[in-house]
Amino acid sequence: MLDRTIKGAAAHPADSRDGYLILGILLLCLLALTILSLGMGRVSIPPGKVLSILASAVGPMEARWTPAEELIVLNVRLPRICAALMVGAALAASGAAYQNLFRNPIVSPDILGVSAGAGFGASMAVMLNIGALGIQASAFGLGLLAVIMCFAIGQAINRHSLIVLVLVGVVIAAFFQALISVLKIVADPVDVLPVITFWLLGGLNKITPADLPLAGGMIAVSLAALFALRWQVNVMGIGEEEARNLGVNVTLVRMLLVLSATLMTAAAVSISGIVGWVGLVVPHMARMLVGPSFERMLPVTMVAGALFVLLVDDIARAASSMELPLGIVTSVIGAPLFIVLLLRARTSWS
């Protein structure tokens, strides 16, 4: 009964075909940009040679490139580009999940304090000098702790109110931001403070192949969970009371959505630092392209997020002789873009 009702409320087949077309176009753009990004840098490598180097990693080929070019493509640029794709897809999808859950267009992945908690964890790890892996683990753990604190306090105040959860998230984020400020004040201004500052600004310049498996696994599992919940999320968009009447376990779905979005955000922030605006801007772009249906919107949001972060990272690498922090570039591009999207939409959230 529930499945038939949900599918009956789904998009018209023509709308679905349009969604597949848009998704296909975005995937082609993403593939082309990935090849171009692998060849872009101080050592420029033509796209054909990039494809040959990638193919050589799968099977033996006659080498028409230098060992240095192969090292640059496979060991330096490929991990960074994979990280950009993962971070973009994760932040955009988590932003879409939060915006649908809270039915609010200005909700972003850090609404429950995960980014602030991760920032404090990374700053503390830098202070303790426990290495790159320790920084990632601490950022991931403290990001999750921030959300757990948010949920615990929100449940104690009013377990059924999303508004209370958002307000508690604002308080938790402010608390961890204050702790970050304390660490920056007491940190060594020569050796430690610059590391903390640049991590908080976000960036992918120190990504190595070893950084990808754990974060990638967390992001993949979380994305799979969001995809599995797509029908229930569509029904909850009608209203929670109606969703309960149709048999949806609203409390369980809400918990799974928050858990999945939080895991993705924490995993992304742990390897990239704090990268803002992706989870706020990209879901709006996807909604304008394919409509509000979470089933159609989720894959488009993921691909658009990956495309957006990869493009911004390319700009950060090429904008000047000194690489710009990724978080700064996303803010410079994302803020005006968000205003443009709002002016084009001119509609209220429903």
pLDDT digits over 255-305, tens only?
899 889 989 999 999 999 999 899 999 999 998 899 888 889 999 999 999
Task: Pull the structure tokens for residue 203.
Answer: 């960036």
Q: What is the mean pLDDT of residues 214-228?
A: 93
Which residue is associated with the tokens 């205003």? 339
Helix axes 230-238, 212-228, angle to 10 degrees: 50
What's the pLDDT tens digit per position in 291-346?
Answer: 888 889 999 999 999 999 999 999 998 877 778 899 999 999 988 888 887 777 65
- Tally of CB atoms within 10 A around 185: 9
Residue with more model confidence, 110 or 36 = 36
Compute the average pLDDT of residues 42-62.
87
Q: How many CB atoms are located within 10 Å of the residue 181 CB?
A: 11
Average pLDDT over residues 88-97: 94
pLDDT at 42: 86
Phi, psi torsion values for 228, nearest 5 degrees: -70, -25
Mean local confidence (pLDDT), 128-156: 90
Q: What does R_g of the chain's alpha carbons equal in angstroms?
A: 21
For the ranges 8-17, 32-41, 63-72, the lowest mean pLDDT is seen at 8-17
Give me the mean pLDDT over the 183-212 stretch.
Answer: 90
Structure tokens given for 275: 């990268």
Contact 211, 270 (CB under 8 A): no
Question: 56 exposed, middle or buried (CB, 10 Å; 0-12, 13-18, 19+)?
Answer: middle
Chain segment 53-78, per-residue pLDDT in tens: 999 888 777 778 888 999 999 999 99
pLDDT value at position 344?
A: 73
Instruction: State the number of CA atoms in the 13 A half-sphere of 202 facing the CB.
Output: 23
Amino acid of residue 146: A
Per-residue pLDDT at 141 exceeds 70: yes
- CATH fold of the domain at 2-345: ABC transporter involved in vitamin B12 uptake, BtuC (1.10.3470)
Distance of alpha carbon 209 from alpha carbon 320, whole angstroms: 26
Handedness of CA 206, 279, 219, 287 (dihedral sign): negative
Q: 45, 69 in Cβ contact below 8 A?
A: yes
- Which phi-psi region, left, alpha or beta, contains residue 103 (left: φ > 0; alpha: ψ -120 to 50)? left
Cα–Cα nearest to 187, from 200, 172, 170, 174: 200
Could you give the C-alpha distances from 206 to 115, 129, 139, in angstroms and in order?
19, 16, 16
